Structure 1
Amino acid sequence: MQKHSLIAVAVALVAAGCTMAPKYERPVAPVSGEFPQGGVYATQPVATAGRTAGNRAAPDIGWREFFVDPRLQRLIEIAQKNNRDLRVSVLNIQAARAQYQITRAGLFPSLNAAGSETKTRTPGTLSLPGREVSNQYSVGLNAAWEIDFFGRIQSLKDQALAQYLATAQARKAAEIALVSSVADQYLTVLAYDDLLTVTQDTLKAAQDSYNITKLQFDIGSGSELDLRQAETIVAQASANLQSQARLRAQAENALVLLVGEPLPADLPQGLPLSSQNLLTDIPAGLPSDLLTRRPDIIEAEQQLRAANANIGAARAAFFPKISLTGNFGTLSPTLGGLFKAGSAAWGFAPEITLPIFEAGSNLANLDLAHVQKNIQIAQYEKAIQTAFREVADGLAARGTYDQQIVALERNNFAQQRRLDLSDLRYKNGVDSYLSVLTAQTDLYAAQQTLITARLQRLTNLVDLYQYLGGGWIEREGEQPRPADAPVDYGSAASAPAVAVAPAAAS
């Protein structure tokens, strides 16, 4: 009766999931309660061209709604299936899930079927005549169970579960970052296309000007100084053309790497850089919103929970381990007698192990668990601070780029007009060719600066969308997938399916 009572108490304790882990408390966010306001943050753009976020948070906006370029949308779709870094993230989830299942199995008894034959020989001086060799056959079931009175295994299970959920959030963060990276790289390719167009136009104009100047020099009406000045802009534009062509090719190679396969020939027609029309008025919300919207912050918190659970396992190591082992089956000196009446055999062996002297290893393990938790607290707080800084930087940039680009467009107009007037004055003999060369060089630099600013504005909008937690859902209104959702690789080889953990990451 006493044995059955002990087992009942053990079952009750295990079912209750008792552990010696400290009660988890989320650390206070080490950032301000609001994002910076005033100054560069006060002039946030409003909806343009009929496209508005409508006060929806970034996670509620599908990436197909944020990006309107059909070519970019197709590239993101391909990347989500083929990007190898993302594929590794998914496989890491499967590995973490398997590790959780291995740890969780320790809460339950193990049951094995076993059969054996034992043959022994005893010296004749110690045995009856003709009985020197004896046989023993056995078949039956062996059971073993460590009763988790003090929650050691439960704590290890909680730790493995938290690490699994952290891995799932890491995959979610990787996929969101992939959407942003593909868009940024695609926009970079478009910017190089615009730069090449500007450089080719500049080179053509410079070459025409050089041809006229050389003709004047050949007939003696022009100076060699004017000729060499005209030649410099041709040489500069020619060199820039080769540099930009190289960088454009390398940018496309980087895009191919992100997409995970060569760019298909049947991609839809894309939009130029000036027509991307991204959403510009996504609200930032409060810094506290990032705790539930940013998967990298959720990942850091799950790692903190895992470290907290590990303290429970380290504490439980100071207390006894109680194990129950038993077997039931049949024994017989002959194989044919295994299942005859009277051959039944059983054994029951409860065991308790109490640590007495471990040379300080248990205490050191507990100290290590506390240190690891403190490390995770610092990393969690750093993740929050990093997210706050990224969003604040994005808001500062979003509040200034529109005005900067307007000013640069005015500068481009003025530089073009300056070039036209300088060229007119030179042809009428009022001014030297140096003024034309200077105006042409300044216009070329202004055009490149404007393209760069347009690219930076667009990539900032893309990155801010990511920093606010956007990019996980494909279309507005659809139910977000679990962070551990499998990926359809199509014809690509994929890992075999495994059982889903009892708690899925959101």
Structure 2
Amino acid sequence: MMKHMNEQLGRPLAIALLSASVLAGCSLAPTYVRPEAPVANAYPTAEAQAAGDATAIGWRAFFPDPRLQALITAALENNRDLRIAALRIEEARAQYNIQSADQWPNLNANAAGSRSRTPADLSPTRTAVISNSYQVGLNLAAFELDFFGRVRSLKDAALAQYLATEEARRAAQISLVAEVAKAYLAERAFAEQEEIAQKTYESRRTGYDLAKQRFDVGASSALDLRLNETLVQTARVSLATLKRQRAQAENALTLLIGRPLTDLPAPQPLSEQNIVTDIPAGLPSDLLERRPDIRSAEQQLKSANANIGAARAAFFPRISLTAGIGTASSELSGLFDAGSRTWSFVPQMVLPIFDAGRNRGNLNLAEARNNIAVANYERAIQIAFREVSDTLVARATLEEQIDAQQAVLTAEEERLKLAEQRYQNGVASSLDVLDAQRELFSAQQSLVQARLLRLTNAIDLYRSLGGGLNEQSVAANGSQK
């Protein structure tokens, strides 16, 4: 008899589970089609057509400065924003595991016992009755047969969200590597400008002392003295400003790497930063595969597309199974005796008839969110295209700007020498010397800024092409070096 009851329960349950597994492939979600990239097929610069892959260049090869490499390593280990992004992945993975678990039956073992007394006036026998009940068994609780793909669509949406979060962490790492490098170079630029300002201030201070001595003996006018004093105070203002800016740059760098700036290799000047500046950009279509932020936006779009399937499935009947099998007895010792077996089989179907437009509203919401995801995906592509285009346009002129600025500096140095010679020979006034000193200081500061712009542009291009995720360079055959 127990075998017969097992067959009574097991046969319909097995048929239902088999049907669910067969129909689990059904889905009402729209077929996903990647939207067309809303950008041109090529970048505005002709040289950008050269084939290349910035993602294959490891950041250690791209940034050869040992101090910068140590800073990036520390940032990848300690940066709190990157740590939060990694924890977001764990959160999304857990959410996906929760959602995917709904595709499988949940079996629960249960054991229960009760003891109750029925008073005589309520007992059919008119005598007080003490009753006992004990039961042990397995329960299948409300397992949904996913005939219309609702559970599967929700699982697909959760999976896409998880993948989007993982891509977002990769994008965060790329941005972090670039921001650390730019912050480091900015600090180095302020340090070099501060050194120039310090030397200029000391030189002008010496010049002012000489001008004051000449004024005291009547060899120069008060105008010359005040002009020298103006130059001294101007250099002093620049020095104080650069000290503040350098300290703030160090604070920004400390925040990025997540720990104090200690135990680091010696820094290198901007002129010796051999950062790769000739990365080939390739084609805009390459960005779709190389930029994690674009891949993240596409996964968000896939998630929204899957949610449409879940919203559509809500219009159809929802079928669920509740079942149980076990043993029960009025005596604990009789739980497993012959004839104590129990079972139940409760299929249930819910068909929505009137919901005041709730399901229609949910479908409209899912479709609206899908349209938003499409727009976000297209916007991510457009932003990436613009970032690459801007850096390519700037790269074409920055080298020329540095050459021109170096020529300006050389000319100003010669001008100052000539002005000092003419002044000593009595041919020119002190105004010519003071003006040459002022222009030389400006040219020195501008050259440092031009070098920083060139290096920053190279970093921006590296980041905008998806570089910075790999630590070591990847060769064409896939090996690392």
Q: Normalization by structure 2: what TM-score?
A: 0.93
Contact 1:472–1:480, Cα closer than 8 Å, also in 2? no
The answer to whether the aligner puts 1:397 opposite 2:407 as a matched pair is: no
Contact 1:66–1:279, Cα closer than 8 Å, also in 2? yes
SS of residue in 1 equivalent to 2:175: helix
Bigger shift: 102-111 or 272-281? 272-281
Aligned to 2:172: 174
Change (3 A) 1:91 1:465: same
Partners of 2:208 and 2:369 in 1: CA distance: 69
Aligned to 1:314: 311
Among 45, 58, 63, the residue aligned to 1:62: 58
SS of residue in 2 equivalent to 1:146: strand
Question: Cα deviations across residues 133-177 of structure 1 (Å, max 9, x unaligned)?
Answer: 422221111113111111101000000000000000000001111
Q: What is the CA distance between 1:305 and its match in structure 2?
A: 0.2
Aligned to 1:13: 23
Superposed, which structure 2 residues align to 1:261-410 within 5 Å?
261-265=259-263, 267-410=264-407
Among 25, 30, 37, the residue aligned to 2:45: 37
The answer to whether the aligner puts 1:211 opposite 2:209 as a matched pair is: yes
Aligned to 2:232: 234
For structure 2, the 5+ residue unaligned runs are: 1-10
Aligned to 1:434: 431
For structure 1, the 5+ residue unaligned runs are: 45-53, 482-506
Partners of 1:245 and 1:393 in 2: CA distance: 31
SS of residue in 2 equivalent to 1:153: helix
SS of residue in 2 equivalent to 1:400: helix
Change (3 A) 1:480 1:76: farther
Partners of 1:81 and 1:420 in 2: CA distance: 51
SS of residue in 1 equivalent to 2:280: coil
The answer to whether the aligner puts 1:23 opposite 2:24 as a matched pair is: no
Partners of 1:271 and 1:31 in 2: CA distance: 40
Aligned to 1:162: 160
Aligned to 2:7: none
Bigger shift: 390-399 or 425-434? 425-434
Q: What is the CA distance between 1:342 and its match in structure 2?
A: 1.5
Among 459, 462, 471, the residue aligned to 2:459: 462
Q: What is the CA distance between 1:55 and its match in structure 2?
A: 5.6
Change (3 A) 1:123 1:292: same
Partners of 1:358 and 1:119 in 2: CA distance: 44
SS of residue in 2 equivalent to 1:25: coil
Q: What is the CA distance between 1:67 and its match in structure 2?
A: 1.0
Contact 1:137–1:333, Cα closer than 8 Å, also in 2? yes
The answer to whether the aligner puts 1:116 opposite 2:124 as a matched pair is: no
Partners of 1:115 and 1:449 in 2: CA distance: 81
Among 406, 430, 447, the residue aligned to 2:444: 447
Q: Normalization by structure 1: what TM-score?
A: 0.89
Q: What is the CA distance between 1:480 and its match in structure 2?
A: 9.6
Q: What is the CA distance between 1:440 and its match in structure 2?
A: 1.1
Contact 1:62–1:471, Cα closer than 8 Å, also in 2? yes
Contact 1:320–1:355, Cα closer than 8 Å, also in 2? yes
Partners of 2:150 and 2:435 in 1: CA distance: 77
Among 421, 426, 431, the residue aligned to 1:424: 421
Partners of 1:73 and 1:55 in 2: CA distance: 27
Bigger shift: 21-30 or 409-418? 409-418
Contact 2:277–2:455, Cα closer than 8 Å, also in 1? no
More helix per residue: 2
Aligned to 1:151: 149
Aligned to 2:67: 71
Q: What is the CA distance between 1:188 and its match in structure 2?
A: 0.7
Aligned to 1:100: 96
Aligned to 1:87: 83
Q: What is the CA distance between 1:337 and its match in structure 2?
A: 2.0
Q: What is the CA distance between 1:388 and its match in structure 2?
A: 0.2
Bigger shift: 249-258 or 160-169? 249-258
SS of residue in 2 equivalent to 1:322: strand
Contact 2:329–2:335, Cα closer than 8 Å, also in 1? yes
Contact 2:121–2:127, Cα closer than 8 Å, also in 1? no
The answer to whether the aligner puts 1:255 opposite 2:253 as a matched pair is: yes
Bigger shift: 470-479 or 222-231? 470-479
Q: What is the CA distance between 1:450 and its match in structure 2?
A: 1.1
Contact 1:473–1:480, Cα closer than 8 Å, also in 2? no
How many residues matched? 465
SS of residue in 2 equivalent to 1:176: helix
Aligned to 1:491: none
Change (3 A) 1:2 1:329: closer
Question: Cα deviations across residues 39-62 of structure 1 (Å, max 9, x unaligned)?
Answer: xxx6x8xxxxxxxxx964100111
Bigger shift: 251-260 or 422-431? 422-431
Q: What is the CA distance between 1:446 and its match in structure 2?
A: 1.4
SS of residue in 1 equivalent to 2:316: coil
Partners of 2:64 and 2:122 in 1: CA distance: 93
Partners of 2:419 and 2:340 in 1: CA distance: 114
Q: What is the CA distance between 1:202 and its match in structure 2?
A: 1.2
Identity level (%): 53
SS of residue in 2 equivalent to 1:244: helix
Aligned to 1:198: 196
Bigger shift: 405-414 or 326-335? 326-335
Partners of 2:479 and 2:346 in 1: CA distance: 51
Partners of 2:412 and 2:300 in 1: CA distance: 56
Q: What is the CA distance between 1:5 and its match in structure 2?
A: 4.1
Change (3 A) 1:173 1:308: same
Aligned to 2:241: 243
Partners of 1:299 and 1:4 in 2: CA distance: 40
Contact 1:55–1:282, Cα closer than 8 Å, also in 2? no
Q: What is the CA distance between 1:425 and its match in structure 2?
A: 2.1
Q: What is the CA distance between 1:417 and its match in structure 2?
A: 1.5
